[in-house]
């Protein structure tokens, strides 16, 4: 073992301390005190199943640690460092704080279990002295001595002690395996268990802490010479070794003792061992080694947390991150940890805190697996570990952690999750400028979107006319001053479709215009947040509106489906944009886009209670889209309670024929319009005009939807858009696609 000091960077240990810290924690109190109980209540196969389920969590976690450790330059703080540098300081700090408390309180757990090793002597002591000792009389003095030794000698003595402890463990296990069976081989039954056994998950909850020690060596990362090599090798070796030893012990117990014997004696392994006292001695060694491992790790986790300024008081951070000596020994953090340890040791009972410890360890393991899975999925170019696990193993580990938390103890799991949330929110309040998880989430979304878009393109077929969804692009140079097109787009895109809003900047692409585009984009993003708009926003710089539209109609759809519609807008008091809009309509028609032109007003859609649709015999190609757009608007909460009225306008002699066609359209559509809402509007061209009739009947409508002919507006130079003087907000519609309304029995 290499244990030379490296200035300011710890002791420069090799792989052995990682393995020793992990294996001595794995082969701990639960092994000696509760494995006989587990075999007695679930049988040999049941206990092996518990071991396998437990390692379905711990092995993916060990692989995740190995993978992340070979990607990062691992420094002090162990698991905390890995989580914080992958998740960010807020999430890492949240888990790091809970991890620290679980590590610190676990020292108390191990010291109380250490005292249990002396209970076989209590009866003898009582007979000799007449005094009955209590376990706290051993656990508290032993804890004080251990803490003083660690404070005095630091990690050097701790790691040296691990060699001695592991040696005792090896001897005790060897004497156990060499022991003789107390049952006849003929009575051996792999399914044997006691009458009325405890529930499987109760046994699992009691046994699971035995599997939580494999990350113990990671806490020494700051004292390792080559953590990228030592952590994966030491952690994985200890995990697999522990699993094999557990299975062998279960088989040996099942073969050697009856279920009743194992259930009655918590030191059942002593009945099998060549020398029975070796089991309490092994228990004392195992718990002491686990306590040493935890007392070495917990202060270093706190020191790393303070080094990242996680704690809210700056002076507290300065005090705790300060180390002593060339190895940067965390003396101040060790003193704080000592107080926590003594408080919990004085409680005397470990039942409550043990379950809380297990919950926080499970959260840590689940987070590590989740980091590994997300990094795999995100395809981050900075994530290049030299050791690679499989994404599905990490996913299995993460899911298993969170599922088993609630299987083990739902109430404790609930409080553990609540505690994590509270810590995270408190950290977030002081770090609003940081955006944890954003890069990873963006990477995941990028990969998901990319794969979906490629899949959609490969599977692309002509969309069924009854399955049409709006995928709109809206273009405006007055995005921040005239909100009507922005609002209309967000209403249309609320549920049934997707919208992209593009702000047009006239000019050449240069540094000045690019800076302006960035400013406008940020303003649009804030506008979208304020209005809760589920639309994508962007900017475009182009020499003219015409060239901008030529570019826009060719861009792929952001949502993964092709854009199929475009929205233009002009204000009723500012009609100079109509010429540009006509040219834009022509480009959109070339690519078979549906075209909508909004004439907005100061009324801004009024109370959103009335939508009037006007159909003429020339609008039947546009009719389905007009009706569907009206129906889509009704799906937005701001248009709740709105009524649609449909006006059928035709010459008197054509009216019966046109009405029959319209009724057929209504009867076949999934739209909230009944025949009683259709008003027949015959007119005599010699006596009145279509425009005056619309103005008379729809002057109080909040939105009027009508069709238009591109050929007609081009010929008239947009004069049609300027009419209807009494009408405020009008949406002119031209369908570029054949859109059908699905049949219904309604």
Sequence ranges of the domains in the chain: 16-180+188-429, 465-734
Question: In the prediction, which pLDDT does 76 show?
Answer: 53
Whole-number Å distance between alpha carbons of 194 and 178: 26
Give the Å distances, CA to CA, from 580 to 326, 477, 501. Answer: 74, 12, 18
Phi and psi at residue 504, to the nearest 5°: -95, 125
Phi and psi at residue 243, to the nearest 5°: -65, -45
What is the tens place of the pLDDT at every residue in 201-257?
Answer: 888 888 887 887 777 766 566 667 777 778 788 888 988 999 999 999 999 998 888
Helical (H) or strand (E) element with 307 = helix 278-307
Helical (H) or strand (E) element with 480 = none
**Selection from 126-130, 372-376, 443-447, 647-651 with the highest mean pLDDT:** 647-651
Whole-number Å distance between alpha carbons of 337 and 305: 14
Confidence of residue 8 (pLDDT cuts 50, 70, 90): very low
What average pLDDT does range 55-74 have in this prediction?
79
Whole-number Å distance between alpha carbons of 293 and 286: 10
CATH number of 465-734: 3.40.50.12370
List the strands of the sheet with 730-734, edge to edge.
Answer: 536-542, 498-506, 471-476, 565-571, 594-600, 730-734, 703-707, 610-615, 643-651, 678-683
Number of CB atoms found within 10 A of residue 674's CB: 12
> Is residue 2 predicted with pLDDT exceeding 70?
no
Confidence of residue 672 (pLDDT cuts 50, 70, 90): very low
73 versus 384: the higher-pLDDT residue is 384
Q: What percent of the chain is modeled with pLDDT above 70?
A: 86
Q: Where are the beta strands (DSSP E) in 425-511?
A: 471-476, 498-506
Specify the 3-state DSSP secondary structure of 596: strand
What average pLDDT does range 113-136 have in this prediction?
78
Specify the 3-state DSSP secondary structure of 476: strand
> Is residue 182 predicted with pLDDT exceeding 70?
no
What average pLDDT does range 175-191 have in this prediction?
72
What rounded mean pLDDT belongs to the chain? Answer: 82
Whole-number Å distance between alpha carbons of 491 and 534: 9
What average pLDDT does range 321-346 have in this prediction?
85
Question: In the prediction, which pLDDT does 19 show?
Answer: 84
Under 8 Å CB-to-CB from 187, ≥6 apart: which residues? 258
Question: In the prediction, which pLDDT does 566 show?
Answer: 95
Q: Considering only 74-83, 299-308, 511-520, which range has the smallest mean pLDDT?
A: 74-83
Question: In the prediction, which pLDDT does 433 show?
Answer: 59
Question: In the prediction, which pLDDT does 745 show?
Answer: 36
Question: In the prediction, which pLDDT does 220 show?
Answer: 62
Model pTM score: 0.66
Helical (H) or strand (E) element with 567 = strand 565-571
Q: Is CATH 1.20.1740.10 the right assignment for the domain spanning 16-180+188-429?
A: yes
What is the tens place of the pLDDT at every residue in 692-710?
Answer: 889 888 999 999 999 999 9
Question: In the prediction, which pLDDT does 208 show?
Answer: 83
Phi and psi at residue 537, to the nearest 5°: -120, 150
Whole-number Å distance between alpha carbons of 272 and 264: 14
Question: In the prediction, which pLDDT does 201 show?
Answer: 82
Whole-number Å distance between alpha carbons of 117 and 379: 50
Question: In the prediction, which pLDDT does 248 show?
Answer: 94
Q: Please report where in the chains the tokens 């809760």 appear, as a residue.
A: 532
What average pLDDT does range 576-604 have in this prediction?
92
Q: Considering only 171-185, 222-236, 270-284, 347-361, which range has the smallest mean pLDDT?
A: 347-361
Confidence of residue 353 (pLDDT cuts 50, 70, 90): low
């Amino acid at each position: 073992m290499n244990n030379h000091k490296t200035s300011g960077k710890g002791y420069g240990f090799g792989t052995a301390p990682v393995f020793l810290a992990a294996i001595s924690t794995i082969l701990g109190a639960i092994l000696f005190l509760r494995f006989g109980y587990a075999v007695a209540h679930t049988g040999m196969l049941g206990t092996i199943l518990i071991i396998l389920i437990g390692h379905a969590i711990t092995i993916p976690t060990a692989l995740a640690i190995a993978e992340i450790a070979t990607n990062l330059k691992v420094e002090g703080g162990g698991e905390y460092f890995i989580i914080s540098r992958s998740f960010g300081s807020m999430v890492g700090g949240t888990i790091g704080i809970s991890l620290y408390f679980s590590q610190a309180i676990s020292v108390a757990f191990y010291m109380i279990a250490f005292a249990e090793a002396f209970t076989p002597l209590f009866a003898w002591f009582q007979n000799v002295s007449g005094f009955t000792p209590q376990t706290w009389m051993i656990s508290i003095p032993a804890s004080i001595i251990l803490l003083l030794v660690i404070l005095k000698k630091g990690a050097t003595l701790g790691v040296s002690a691990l060699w001695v402890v592991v040696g005792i463990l090896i001897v005790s296990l060897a004497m156990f395996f060499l022991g003789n069976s107390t049952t006849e081989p003929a009575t051996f039954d792999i399914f044997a268990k006691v009458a009325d056994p405890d529930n499987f998950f109760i046994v699992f909850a009691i046994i699971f802490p035995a599997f939580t020690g494999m990350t113990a060596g990671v806490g020494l990362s700051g004292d390792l010479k080559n953590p990228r090599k030592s952590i994966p090798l030491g952690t994985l070796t200890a995990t697999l070794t522990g699993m094999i030893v557990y299975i062998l012990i279960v088989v040996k117990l099942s073969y050697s003792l009856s279920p009743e014997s194992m259930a009655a004696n918590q030191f059942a392994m002593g009945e099998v061992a060549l020398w029975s006292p070796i089991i309490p001695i092994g228990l004392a060694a195992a718990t002491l080694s686990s306590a040493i491992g935890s007392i070495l790790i917990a202060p270093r986790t706190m020191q790393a947390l303070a080094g990242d300024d996680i704690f809210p008081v700056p002076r507290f951070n300065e005090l705790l991150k300060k180390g002593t000596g060339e190895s940067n020994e965390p003396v101040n953090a060790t003193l704080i940890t000592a107080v926590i340890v003594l408080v919990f040791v004085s409680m005397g009972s470990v039942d409550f805190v043990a379950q809380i410890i297990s919950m926080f360890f499970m959260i840590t393991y689940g987070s590590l697996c989740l980091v590994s899975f997300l990094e795999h999925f995100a395809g981050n170019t900075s994530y290049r570990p030299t050791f690679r696990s499989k994404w599905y193993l990490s996913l299995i580990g993460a899911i298993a952690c969170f599922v088993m938390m609630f299987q083990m103890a739902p109430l404790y799991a609930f409080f553990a999750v609540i505690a994590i949330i509270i810590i995270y929110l408190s950290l977030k309040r002081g770090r609003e400028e940081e955006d944890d998880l954003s890069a990873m989430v963006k990477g995941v979304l990028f990969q998901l979107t990319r794969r979906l878009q490629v899949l959609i393109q490969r599977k692309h077929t002509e969309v069924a006319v009854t399955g049409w969804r709006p995928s709109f692009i809206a273009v405006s140079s007055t995005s921040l001053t005239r909100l009507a097109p922005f609002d209309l787009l967000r209403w249309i895109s609320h549920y049934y479709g997707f919208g992209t809003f593009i702000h047009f900047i006239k000019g050449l692409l240069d540094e000045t215009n690019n800076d302006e585009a960035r400013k406008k984009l940020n303003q649009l993003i804030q506008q979208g947040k304020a209005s809760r708009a589920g639309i994508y926003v962007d900017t475009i710089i182009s020499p003219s509106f015409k060239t901008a539209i030529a570019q826009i109609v060719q861009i792929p759809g952001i949502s993964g489906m092709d854009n199929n519609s475009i929205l233009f807008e002009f204000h009723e008091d500012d009609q100079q944009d109509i010429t540009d809009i006509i040219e834009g309509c022509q480009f959109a028609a070339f690519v078979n886009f549906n075209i909508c032109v909004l004439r907005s007003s100061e009324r801004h859609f009024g109370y959103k209670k009335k939508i009037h649709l006007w159909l003429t015999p020339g609008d039947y190609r546009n009719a389905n889209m007009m009706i569907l757009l009206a129906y889509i608007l009704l799906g937005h909460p701001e248009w709740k309670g709105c009524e649609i009225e449909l006006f059928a306008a035709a010459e008197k002699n054509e009216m019966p024929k046109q009405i029959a066609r319209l009724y057929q359209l209504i009867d076949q559509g999934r739209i909230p319009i009944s025949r009683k809402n259709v008003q027949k509007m015959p007119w005599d061209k010699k006596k009145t005009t279509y425009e005056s009739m619309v103005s008379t009947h729809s002057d109080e409508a909040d939105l009027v939807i009508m069709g238009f002919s591109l050929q007609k507006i081009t010929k008239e130079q947009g004069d049609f858009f300027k009419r209807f003087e009494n009408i405020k907000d009008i949406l002119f519609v031209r369908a570029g696609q054949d859109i059908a309304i699905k049949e219904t029995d309604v």
